[in-house]
Chain A
């Protein structure tokens, strides 16, 4: 299979992720969208790594690190979302407007 199949798939995932980040108002859904974007990156990395076999495993190792960092980010993100829910009983991002300009 040509590698561009994978690239188009990951481009689609990445775009859906960006759409979600921009259009969703619920903080958890935004987190999910960001995960989509990171997974698009992983697809890219693994596909390239399989394509460039002679160049070693850089892409796969990179993907492992992306997964680990994504887990750390989700941990921090969910903690903040819970903090906000405790203080305001809502996680709607449009209501977070205490500070402007």
Chain B
């Protein structure tokens, strides 16, 4: 745009500060983390109002031994990691070390890799992926309805039919626009 002057300098300065040093996001990040954490976990003395959130309020009790079971898993993880480390070090002590170029290739006794590790997926999959995501998420509304289906009766049934009909319109749209055909 033709406008120049003070505003462009300002804009350039701001953009520079943001993109080059990342100062703004960094500061914002620190401030947010500290601010939010402090406010949310600050223990409040007053018994009234919403102090229950930080102190007395609690998510329904988890059985106490629930966490002690994690200790077993932790021990197993530590022992497993230790075992790997110790055996590798032991092997290093006794094995000869004669590196050759062949030995350093990725698959020493396989086929030489050709091309790059990144392969492109056909972009057409993207349409299917998106359609899947959207219809999949709409199913979220069906589950609560299905659980209380008998209690709610006919009216809720008809309402859900309308909901599904609207989704069907979307599907019809996708079909008519040849979104579901592999060209």
Contacts and interface: CB of A to CB of B under 8 A. Distances in A.
Partners in one complex: yes
Interface of A: 1-4, 6-8, 11-12, 14-16, 18-19, 22-23, 25, 47, 50-51, 53, 61, 64, 67-68, 71-72, 74-75, 78-79, 82, 94, 99-101
Contact of B59 (A1, A14, A64, A101): A1
Nearest to A69: B137
Given A2-B55, A3-B53, A101 B7 contact: yes
Contacts of B29: 15-16, 18-19, 22
B11 interface: yes
Contacts of B53: 3-4, 7, 51
Contacts of B59: 1-3, 6, 47, 50-51
Contacts of A22: 18, 24-25, 28-29
Nearest to B138: A68
6 contacts: A2-B58, A7-B53, A14-B32, A50-B59, A71-B137, A101-B1
Contacts, number: 99
Interface residues on B, range: 35 or more
B105 interface: no
Interface of chain B, helix or strand or loop or mixed? helix
B28 A100 contact: no
B8 A8 contact: no
B114 interface: no
Contacts of A71: 133-134, 136-137
A75 B1 contact: no
B134 A72 contact: yes
A19 B41 CA distance: 21
